[in-house]
Structure 1
Amino acid sequence: MLDIRRLYMLKTVAARGSITAAAQSLALSAGAVSQQLSALRHDVGVDLLRPDGRSVALTEAGQVLLEHADRILAAVEEAESAIAVVKGTVGATTTLAALPSTVARIVAPALTALGSHHPQLTVTCLVTDQAQLRELTLGTVDVVLGQRYHHLPDATPRGIEVSPLLDDPLLVVTAADQADERPVDLRELATHPLAVPPPTTDCGQAILQACHQAGFAPTMRYITADIAAQLTLARAGLATALIPRTAIDPTTPGIRTAPIADHPIQRLLFAATRHTQTANPTTTAVIAALSTAARQDRTTPVPLA
């Protein structure tokens, strides 16, 4: 009989591209992973992996087995969810992956509420903007608080269920003494030095596209994904920043924010889980807390001066 843990290791190696990378994500030694994959190869009687440069790739048999492994692992999770519903209680542990820009105004309030309503639940929070949905499909995390800019195609992987939380516009951020709170046409920023994320990021792409639609190429004087750095540059009067509303602490002194009037840039914040026919009470509780925090954030003002 095939070992479920070995099937999961095969899936992880296929996603990570190497045994070493898979071992790191599983908190195992590369030797331990190799040993288990060798045992799996012995179980099926055919090679499952082949060298591919510095990485490994699935053989035809490996690909066939992975397709079945996905269904087997999904069925196991379905069974776990069904049992959790019968028990009728929120579990003891779960893992949340969240964007850094959502921590202060959504994640922290949500975790505080969860601690109050479900004190037995321990939430491990992975704060990152890298490959969150891939980690969700691999089972490394249970809930993702992610984003999708409206101008980009939906790239949600198969088997992932998305719950919209909040439409989050980018605001124009300047030093408090350099502007008023009136809406700003994006083309007014054509002569401004900007502090923006790298163009390789979703936010950077969204800003570039909006500026081009407004008829100009932005002057990207400072390129950083660090929102605290962008706010510091704006507060010092060195640059104008375009920052998601939720990422701006309303108590931040010395800045002024204004909406974009003509070419608004907006991201959708969402909560994502692996799809199961029976909703798991633990992930349901996490999503409910995130949704409540997002609703409350809609009414939180941002600094006008």
Structure 2
Amino acid sequence: MLDVRRLHMLKTVAARGSIAAAAQSLALSAGAVSQQLSALRRDVGVDLLRPDGRTVALTEAGRVLLAHADRILAAVQEAESAVAAVRGTVGATATLAALPSTVARIVAPALDELGSQHPQLTVTCLVTDQAQPRELTLGAVDVVLGQRYHHLPDATPRGIEVSPLLDDPLLVVTAAGQADERPVALRELATHNLAVPPPTTDCGQAILHACHEAGFTPTTRYITADIAAQLTLARAGLATALVPRTAIDPATPGIRTAPIEDRPILRLVFAATRRTETANPTTTAVIAALRTAAGLGRTMRPPTA
């Protein structure tokens, strides 16, 4: 009989591209993963993986088995949710993957509420720039707190349920005293030195796209995905930053923020889970807390001085 855990490892290796990367995401050694995949190969009697440069790829038999593995693992998830629903109580553990920019205004208040409402629930929170719905398909996490910028197509994988939480605009951040609080036309930033994320990130792409639509190429003097660094550069008067509203701690001193009036850059912040016919009480509780925290974050004003 096929071992479900080994099927999960095969799926993870196929998605990550290498045994080492899969082992890291599974919190196992590469040797342990290799041993389990070797056992799976003996179970089926045919090679499932082949070298592909510095990575590995599925053989034809591996692709066939993976297609069945997807259905088997989905059925296991459905069974777990159905049993949890019959039990009717929030479980003991859950894993949440969240973007760093959501921690202060959404994640921390949500975890605080969960601790009060469900003290038996321990939530492991993975704060990572790779908080993407794909992690759910690999079974690595239970809930993803992610983002999608409105100019990008929806690339949500099949079998994933997305719960929109809020539209989060990017604000123009400068040093206190350098500008007034009036809304800013995006074209005005053509003369500014900007601190922005790398163009390989969703946020960096969104900023470049919006600036090009406004008719100019931004002067990106500082390139960093670290929002704390962007705010430090803005506070020092060295750059203008474009930062999501919910990523700005209201206690941050020495900065002034302003909305973009003509071409707002919006990201959709969402919570995502694996889609099942029966709702899981544990993931339902986590998403409810995230939704409450997002609603509170929406009503809070960032600092103006």
The reply to whether TM is greater than 0.5 is yes
State the AA in 1 paired with 2:44.
Answer: V
State the AA in 2 paired with 1:136.
Answer: L
Question: 1:172 is matched with which residue?
Answer: 172
Question: What TM-score, normalized by structure 2, do the two folds share?
Answer: 0.97
Question: 2:140 is matched with which residue?
Answer: 140
State the AA in 1 paired with 2:234.
Answer: A
Question: 1:186 is matched with which residue?
Answer: 186
Question: What TM-score, normalized by structure 1, do the two folds share?
Answer: 0.97
Deviation at 1:234, TM superposition (A): 0.8
Bigger mean CA offset, 231-240 vs 33-42: 33-42
Deviation at 1:131, TM superposition (A): 5.3
Question: 1:223 is matched with which residue?
Answer: 223
Deviation at 1:83, TM superposition (A): 0.4
1:94 correspondence with 2:79: no
| Count of residues in correspondence between the two structures | 305
1:202 correspondence with 2:194: no
Aligned mates of 2:31, 2:207 — CA distance in 1: 45
Deviation at 1:44, TM superposition (A): 1.6
Deviation at 1:140, TM superposition (A): 0.9
1:21 correspondence with 2:21: yes
Superposed, which structure 2 residues align to 1:106-185 within 5 Å?
106-130=106-130, 132-185=132-185
Deviation at 1:50, TM superposition (A): 1.2
Aligned mates of 1:283, 1:139 — CA distance in 2: 13
1:52 correspondence with 2:43: no
Question: 1:303 is matched with which residue?
Answer: 303
Q: What SS does structure 2 have at the residue aligned with 1:132?
A: coil
CA-based RMSD of the aligned residues comes to 1.1
1:285 correspondence with 2:295: no
Deviation at 1:26, TM superposition (A): 2.2
Question: 1:36 is matched with which residue?
Answer: 36
Aligned mates of 1:19, 1:188 — CA distance in 2: 49
Q: What SS does structure 2 have at the residue aligned with 1:166?
A: strand
Query: Share of identical aligned residues, percent?
Result: 87
Aligned mates of 2:39, 2:232 — CA distance in 1: 55
| 1:42-100 residue CA offsets vs partner (Å, 9 max, x unmatched) | 22222211111122111111101100001001100100000001111101001000010
| 1:11-53 residue CA offsets vs partner (Å, 9 max, x unmatched) | 1111121222222322333332222222222222222111111
Question: 1:64 is matched with which residue?
Answer: 64
Question: 2:258 is matched with which residue?
Answer: 258
Bigger mean CA offset, 285-294 vs 216-225: 216-225
Aligned mates of 2:290, 2:33 — CA distance in 1: 36
Deviation at 1:294, TM superposition (A): 0.5
State the AA in 1 paired with 2:224.
Answer: T
Bigger mean CA offset, 4-13 vs 83-92: 4-13
Aligned mates of 2:198, 2:30 — CA distance in 1: 34
Q: 1:300 to 1:242 in 2, by over 3 A?
A: same
Bigger mean CA offset, 116-125 vs 221-230: 221-230
Runs of 4+ with >3 A deviation: none
State the AA in 2 paired with 1:208.
Answer: L
Q: What SS does structure 1 have at the residue aligned with 2:257?
A: strand
